[in-house]
C-alpha cells in the first residue's frame, strides 16, 4: 500500500517536521514518529518516578497492589449515579469523574472520603466527558449531553466560562498545547472551540457520527472513530484527510471493526493507536505503516473506553457488559493480569506517571495501587 505522506509530526514532544513532501511515497519501515518518540523516551523516562515493569514481572507486582474505593453518599449503584467518564490531571494529583445524574466531582486520590473531594455544580444533563487541560493542572473541561461545555478552575471551584448549543454532545478532546478543544455530537458535527474566548471558531459537518476524538501529540492531526467502524486521520485545524491510498487520492481510513468504532487512545510513545469497537475488539495500529498489528479479543461487550499505561507497555479496555478488566501487554498482545469487579467497568484510566489504574465498578470509582509508592525494577 502506498501512502501520500505530507509531513511527520505525530510524536508527543514538539519538534520541527522531519520530512515534507507532496509526492506519494512508501512509508518507511521505521517512521519518524516512533524514532523520535523512542529517543525522547530514553531522555525523559529517567525523570519519572516509576520504572517500567517487564511483562514477566508485571503480574506479580500488580496483583499485590491494593484497591481503594471512593465513597460518594449520593451514589445509587449502577443506575442514575453511574460514572460515565474519568480523567487524571497532568501530574496525577487529581482525578475527575462525571456521572449520569449530573454530578461532577474532583477527587484527591490519597483521600477517598467524599468530604475531601470537590463537587462542581452547574450542569443540567448527564455528563458525557471530562478532560483536564494538558498544560494547566487545575483547569477542567466538562461536557454534558445537552451540548454544554464548561471550563472550571478546580482550585476555586468556579466555572470560568461555558459554550452552549453543541447539540447532543458525545466527544471531547483538548489540543496538546491546551489552546483548543474539539467537541463532537450525535448529528455528525465537529466543533473547534477557543477555550480563552469561550466560543466556537469553526464547525465541520461529517458524513458519519463521531464517537471519539484523539489528537496526535504534535497537535497537527486528529484521529476520529466513526459509527461505520472506521478511524479517520484528519489534519488540524482544517480537518482534511492526511493520507491517501495509492494514486487515486482516496482518503486512508483504518478499517478494523465490523460495527461501530467507539473508542480511541494513542500510546504515550506514539507507536500504536488503539481503537475499540462494539464488536468487542481492540485493534492496535502501528503508526509507522498504519497496519493493524494485533487485535485483543477477550473483551465482553462493546469497548467503551481504552487506556494505555504511562509507559505505553500495557493497555486495558472498559465495557458495560461482563465483569472485570483484562490488562494486555501491547507488544505481544498477551493478557498479563485480570482485575475482578462486581459489575461491568465501562470507564478506565491509567495514571499519567504510575502503575495506578482507575476504573468504575458498580457505578463508583476505584483505583488500584493508590497506596503503593514503592519503586520496582523493570
For the stretch 285-306, pLDDT in tens is 999 999 999 999 999 999 999 9
259 SS3 class = coil
Q: Is the peptide bond before 256 cis (omega within 30 degrees of 0)?
A: no
Dist. CA 338–CA 275, nearest whole Å = 20
Q: Are 75 and 83 in contact (CB under 8 A)?
A: no
pLDDT tens-digit profile of 136-150? 999 999 999 999 999
Question: What confidence score (pLDDT) does residue 78 get?
Answer: 53
Question: What confidence score (pLDDT) does residue 15 get?
Answer: 32
pLDDT band at 28, cuts 50/70/90?
A: very low
Dist. CA 119–CA 237, nearest whole Å = 33
Least trusted range by pLDDT, from 7-21, 207-221, 240-254: 7-21
Would you say residue 166 has pLDDT above 60?
Answer: yes
Count of beta carbons in the 10 Å neighbourhood of residue 240: 10
Would you say residue 372 has pLDDT above 70?
Answer: no
Mean pLDDT of 59-78: 84
- 373/241: higher pLDDT: 241
Dist. CA 3–CA 114, nearest whole Å = 52
Would you say residue 19 has pLDDT above 80?
Answer: no
Mean pLDDT of 214-234: 97
Sketch the domain layout of the chain as residue ranges.
53-368
Question: What confidence score (pLDDT) does residue 184 get?
Answer: 97
Residues near 283 by beta carbon (within 8 Å), at least 6 away in sequence = 254, 256, 257, 274, 275, 276, 277, 292, 295
What phi and psi, each to the nearest 5 degrees, are found at residue 42?
A: -65, -25
Question: What confidence score (pLDDT) does residue 47 get?
Answer: 45
> Does 3.30.1330.10 match the CATH number of domain 53-368?
no
pLDDT band at 45, cuts 50/70/90?
A: very low
pLDDT tens-digit profile of 255-283? 999 999 999 999 999 999 999 999 999 99
User: For the sheet containing 230-235, what is the strand order?
Assistant: 210-215, 221-226, 230-235, 253-255
Dist. CA 362–CA 158, nearest whole Å = 29
Of the candidates 29, 31, 17, 23, the residue with the CA atom closest to the CA atom of residue 3:
23
Residues near 331 by beta carbon (within 8 Å), at least 6 away in sequence = 55, 313
- 362/280: higher pLDDT: 280
Question: What confidence score (pLDDT) does residue 333 get?
Answer: 98
DSSP 203-250: EEE-SS-EEEEEE-TTSSEEEEEETTSEEEEEETTT--B--EETTTTE
Amino acid at each position: 500500500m502506498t501512502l501520500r505522506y505530507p509531513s511527520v509530526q505525530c510524536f508527543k514532544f514538539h519538534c520541527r517536521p522531519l520530512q515534507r513532501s507532496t509526492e506519494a511515497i512508501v512509508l518507511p519501515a521505521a517512521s519518524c514518529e516512533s524514532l523520535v518518540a523512542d529517543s525522547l523516551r530514553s531522555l525523559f523516562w529517567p525523570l519519572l518516578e516509576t520504572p517500567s515493569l517487564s511483562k514477566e514481572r508485571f503480574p506479580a507486582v500488580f496483583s499485590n497492589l491494593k484497591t481503594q474505593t471512593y465513597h460518594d453518599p449520593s451514589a445509587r449503584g449502577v443506575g442514575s449515579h453511574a460514572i460515565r467518564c474519568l480523567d487524571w490531571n497532568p501530574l496525577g494529583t487529581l482525578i475527575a469523574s462525571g456521572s449520569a445524574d449530573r454530578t461532577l466531582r474532583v477527587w484527591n486520590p490519597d483521600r477517598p472520603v467524599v468530604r475531601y473531594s470537590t463537587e462542581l455544580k452547574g450542569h443540567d444533563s448527564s455528563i458525557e466527558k471530562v478532560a483536564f487541560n494538558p498544560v494547566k493542572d487545575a483547569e477542567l473541561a466538562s461536557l454534558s449531553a445537552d451540548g454544554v461545555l464548561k471550563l472550571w478552575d478546580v482550585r476555586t471551584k468556579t466555572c470560568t466560562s461555558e459554550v452552549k448549543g453543541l447539540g447532543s454532545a458525545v466527544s471531547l478532546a483538548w489540543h496538546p498545547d491546551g489552546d483548543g478543544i474539539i467537541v463532537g455530537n450525535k448529528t455528525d458535527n465537529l466543533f473547534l472551540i477557543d477555550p480563552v474566548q469561550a466560543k466556537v471558531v469553526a464547525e465541520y459537518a461529517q458524513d458519519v457520527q463521531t464517537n471519539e476524538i484523539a489528537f496526535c501529540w504534535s497537535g497537527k492531526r486528529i484521529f476520529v472513530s466513526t459509527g461505520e467502524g472506521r478511524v479517520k486521520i484528519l489534519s488540524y485545524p482544517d480537518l482534511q484527510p492526511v493520507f491517501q491510498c495509492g494514486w487515486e487520492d482516496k482518503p486512508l481510513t483504518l478499517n478494523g471493526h465490523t460495527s461501530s468504532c467507539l473508542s480511541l487512545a494513542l500510546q504515550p510513545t506514539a507507536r500504536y493507536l488503539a481503537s475499540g469497537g462494539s464488536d468487542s475488539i481492540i485493534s492496535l495500529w502501528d503508526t509507522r505503516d498504519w497496519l493493524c498489528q494485533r487485535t485483543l479479543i477477550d473483551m465482553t461487550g462493546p469497548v467503551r473506553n481504552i487506556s494505555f499505561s504511562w509507559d505505553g507497555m500495557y493497555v486495558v479496555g472498559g465495557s458495560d457488559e461482563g465483569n472485570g478488566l483484562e490488562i494486555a501487554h501491547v507488544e505481544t498482545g498477551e493478557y498479563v493480569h485480570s482485575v475482578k469487579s462486581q459489575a461491568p467497568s465501562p470507564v478506565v484510566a491509567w495514571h499519567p506517571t504510575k502503575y495506578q489504574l482507575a476504573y468504575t465498578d458498580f457505578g463508583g470509582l476505584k483505583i488500584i495501587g493508590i497506596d503503593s509508592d514503592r519503586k520496582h525494577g523493570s
